[in-house]
Amino acid sequence: MNYGIEYSGFPAVLEGYNDANWISDSDETKSTSGYVFTLGGGAVMWRSSKQSIIARSTMESEFIALELAGSEAEWLRNLLANIPLEIKPTPSVSMHSDCKSAIAVAKNKLFNGKNTHIQLRHNVVKQLLKDGTILVDYVRSEVNLADPLTKPLGRKIICDTSREMGLKATRN
């Protein structure tokens, strides 16, 4: 048997998931961002990293994660467009987030907050949405593949998301 990431080639579209946790543990003041990109039935790119700035709310921390994943989506999309593959033209990368407020803020053309560092990220996401590089939509937390990259979770969710990321044991 082999435990690894299996790519079946289907579906042949790039999809992104992103998530963040906001102060889940006692003496951590910064949140953790996480994102996963899947292509061809398996995860092709993932990351879990501590955020560099302090977020004041769940929405802010999710928004920071969205911006991080969004810029990565832009790079991945360019990479796919540059390699002579069958799949063309590259459609917008749909980014799945489990935070409705962050999605609403991303889709709003005006930014009502007062923090410059969040405004900067808002501009980046706004630009990505305007260019058609990414699309943002909502998924439930349980099916968000980036969920286990930001917080400790139970056995069932770990198992389900791992399978969705293409991680499975296969007989030789």
Residues that bind other proteins (CB under 8 A): 1-9, 25-27, 32, 34, 36, 41-43, 46-50, 75, 78-79, 82-84, 148-155, 158-159, 161-162, 165, 167, 169-170, 172
The encoded tokens of residue 46 equal: 């993932």
CB of 8 to other proteins, least distance (A): 4
Give the H/E segment covering residue 20: strand 15-21
Q: Name beta bridge partners: 21.
A: 32
CB of 2 to other proteins, least distance (A): 4
CB nearer to other proteins: give 118 or 166: 166
CB of 120 to other proteins, least distance (A): 23
The residue written with tokens 């560099």 in the block is 52
CB nearer to other proteins: give 60 or 147: 147
d(CA 123, CA 15): 22
Distance of CA 27 to the CA centre of its chain: 25
CB of 121 to other proteins, least distance (A): 21
CB of 116 to other proteins, least distance (A): 27
CB nearer to other proteins: give 32 or 144: 32
β-sheet with 93-97: strand ranges across:
42-50, 32-39, 15-21, 93-97, 134-138
CB nearer to other proteins: give 27 or 137: 27
Q: Return the beta strands (E) in 64-159 as ranges.
A: 93-97, 134-138
| DSSP character at residue 92 | P
CB nearer to other proteins: give 58 or 115: 58
